[in-house]
Every structure is written in C-alpha cells, then in structure tokens.
Structure 1
Amino acid sequence: MRYLRLVFLVVMAVAMPAHAGEGEDALQAFYQNVDTLRADFEQVQVDEDGATIQRTAGEFLLARPDRFRWSYREPYEQIIVSDGDAFYFHDVDLSQVTVRDVDRSLRATPAQLLAGGKALESAFRIEEAGRRDGLAWVTLTPREGDGDFTEIRIGFDGSRPARMELDDQLGQTTQIKFTDVVVDAEIAPARFTLEIPDDATVVDGRGEGQ
C-alpha cells in the first residue's frame, strides 16, 4: 500500500543563475499553465545511507483538475488512477483494487502537488531552495507531522518539474526522474478510469472517517 502515497511530477535543466523565488515561480507556473501532461518515470528508493532499496519504472498521465494515472510497468504491475471523484489502486499481481475518496487520498501527499489548488498551501509550507543539478528547486514541508513524508523537494526546468525527492519518516528517500515529457498532450478521458477485472477483490474505503 506504500505506492498509494508515492503518486507524483516532470523534466530537464537550464544553466542560468537563480533569481529569488525561481523555484516558487516555477511551481506556480506549472499549476497555472499546464492542463495535461504525459511522461515516463524512473523511481528509486534509497535508505539513509544511500543504498538502493528498490527501483521501479512506468508512465504518468495528468489532466487537471484531479485526474491522473500512475502506472508501474516494472518490476511488477500496479496502477494508481484518479477520475476526479474516486482514487483507485490496482495491484495486478494480487488482483486487488482499493478505492478511496479523492480528497482523503490526496491530503498532504505528492499527488496533491499535481492537482494544485488552494489545498496545496494549506497542507504544505513552500520555500525556495536555490539551484542544484541545473534545476530550480522548491521545498515543501507538510504542516501536519503525521503524514508519510517529512519533506518533499521538486526540481524544475522552466515550469516543468524534472525531479522529485521525498523523504519519509523512516529516513528513506524516494527519487523520481521524468523523461519523454509531453505538456498539454491529448489524452483520452478513458485513461483516467479503471476497468476493474471481474475476479478482482475490491476494498472500498470511500466515506470512512467522515
């Protein structure tokens, strides 16, 4: 279920000195100017000593507001989909689908970074983080301390996120790199729905805790 919370962003680097607020400006430009996006991603999880724990890869699709598809192709297949109303996590190998309310699933998680909106600033403290590796960085710290992540860093190429780094409560870091990014791509609405197999076990958690 860890992958429910590793849902996420976009590409490359510019070689000019940073100006004050560059990372924050890029974050705002991404939310204001990008309606749809598709990209491939590579995700690496490392421990506090920098040793690799897990390496995964897949495809990411985004359509505002609140729709995305995060598909792990390797080493095993998992699909995370939001249709704007509900959030679906499909573990293909286990043949299990978990369903949750979108607002509860996105609260103070990386997925909320993609959706943007007023909830972002209410959930995170946003701070400028300078330039590194040719990218303009911004740091987001959850305002509530009971989430999975203690800090999230996003590196931008212009208004396009290129990398994400997510530090969790266990001292581990998840690093995400995006490639083959297409902004404002035409994406069929059907990509943001999940066809649930007839033989899948469905765990419906919508309405819980409300």
Structure 2
Amino acid sequence: MLLRRLFFAAAVFLVAASAHADGVSDLESFYKNVDSLSAQFNQLQTDDNGEVLQRASGTFLLSRPDSFRWEYEKPYKQIIVSDGKEFKFYDVDLAQVTIRNIDATLRATPALLLTGGAALEDAFNIAAGGNHDGLSWVRLTPRADDTDFKEVRLGLKNQVPSIMELDDNLGQTTGIQFTDVKLNPKLAGSNFTLDIPDDVEVVDGRGMQQGNR
C-alpha cells in the first residue's frame, strides 16, 4: 500500500501561487479561484541516504467542492476517488477495492485539504518558506500526531503548482513534479465515480470505522 500512502501526501500539492507573493496567502487564493483542475505528475521516493526507492507517474483530477481522482498509471495501476463522503481505493493488480468513510483522520490529510472540505489551519501549521529556485515556497506541518508525514514543502510558480516535497516519519522523502496543469477545465462527473468490477475483492471499512460491521 506504499502508493496509497504516497497519494495522501501527494495530493496536498494542489494550490496556486505567484513566485513573488507570500505562499500562505497564495494557498488561500487557490480555494477562492480554482473550481477544477487537471494535471500530470511524476513522483520519486528516496530514503534518508538519497537512494531511489520508487518512481511513479499518473494523472490527477479535482472538482470542487469535494471530488477528486488520483490515478497511478506506472509502475502499478491504482485509482483513488472520493466524493468527500466516501473514499475508494482500487488496486488493479491486486484486484481489490477498499472503501472508507471520510472521517476526521482522513480530513486531516492533504488528500482532502485540496478539495477545501476542511479548514487548512485546523489540520496544519502553515509558514511561508521564502522564494528560491524561482518558486514561492510554503511549509506545512500536521497538527495531528497520527499522520504518516512530518512536513510538506510546496514550490509554486505563476499560480501553478510545480514541486512538492514530503518528509515522512521513516526518514524518506517523496518529491513530485507537476506538468500540463490546467485550471478550471470542464470535467465530467463520471471521472469521480468508480465502477467496481464483479471479480474484485471489496474491503468495506465503513462499518468498521463506525465500530460495527
């Protein structure tokens, strides 16, 4: 489930900024000005010695107020969709779909913050990270103690996300570069639904989250 964990970390990248503006205010402007988004991504995970652990790539779609689709195309086919109430993770190679309610824990993750469904300040301590490498940077540290990551750094340019860096609790760093970003495209609602094939295993965690199956 490595890619699933990386997904949570990755999705926080979706903010808009200007290279010469304060990153914190730019983060807020994204919620105000962007209703939908599409992008390609390339993801690289390294250990604490800089050795490459994994490469991945895929596409991302966002539709406010509460829908997103994060799809890994390489090295494994995995699809993550959410309507803001339920989260579905489809591992195509394993032929397994996991369903969860969007509870307080998931709302504190970057995956849900990008939709604007939770107050940013409630989940993260936010600080401007200065301007370097032609980018305006923002540093976000989670307020909760049970997250998989310690810090997220966002590099933004010309109101388009460019780079995201994540430090996790294992000393690993995940870097993501975004390309072909389109702001406010028209996206069909079918992008944010998941047709579950009959021959896959379904792990329904909704009842478990509520304390009854």
TM-score, normalised via structure 2 length: 0.89
Distance 2:45 2:84 in 1: 28
Distance 2:68 2:162 in 1: 17
Distance 1:198 1:170 in 2: 37
The aligned residue for residue 202 of structure 1 is: 202
The aligned residue for residue 98 of structure 1 is: 98
The aligned residue for residue 83 of structure 1 is: 83
| Within-5 A mapping of 1:1-150 | 1-5=1-5, 6-7=7-8, 8=11, 9-10=13-14, 18=20, 22-104=22-104, 106-150=106-150
Distance 1:118 1:67 in 2: 13
**Unaligned ranges ≥5, structure 2:** none
Alpha-carbon offset, residue 207 of structure 1: 4.0
The aligned residue for residue 175 of structure 1 is: 175
Q: Secondary structure in 2 aligned to 1:170? A: coil
Query: What CA deviation, in whole Å up to 9, does each residue of 1:82-109 have, x standing for no partner?
Result: 1232111000001000001123463332
Residue 148 of structure 2 aligns with an amino acid whose one-letter code is D
Q: Secondary structure in 2 aligned to 1:115? A: coil
Alpha-carbon offset, residue 121 of structure 1: 1.1
Distance 2:148 2:111 in 1: 13
TM-score, normalised via structure 1 length: 0.90
| Within-5 A mapping of 1:148-187 | 148-187=148-187
Paired residues, number: 206
**Conservation of the 8 A alpha-carbon contact between 1:11 and 1:179:** no
Distance 1:134 1:13 in 2: 12
Query: What CA deviation, in whole Å up to 9, does each residue of 1:116-144 have, x standing for no partner?
Result: 35432111101110012211111110112
Q: In the superposition, relative to structure 1, how do residues 11 and 116 fare at CA in structure 2: closer, same or farther (>3 Å)? A: closer
Per mean C-alpha deviation after superposition, the further-off stretch among 104-113 and 196-205 is 104-113
Distance 1:117 1:77 in 2: 27
**Conservation of the 8 A alpha-carbon contact between 1:154 and 1:163:** yes
Residue 173 of structure 2 aligns with an amino acid whose one-letter code is T
Alpha-carbon offset, residue 156 of structure 1: 1.4
Cα RMSD for the two superposed structures = 2.0
Distance 2:42 2:61 in 1: 14
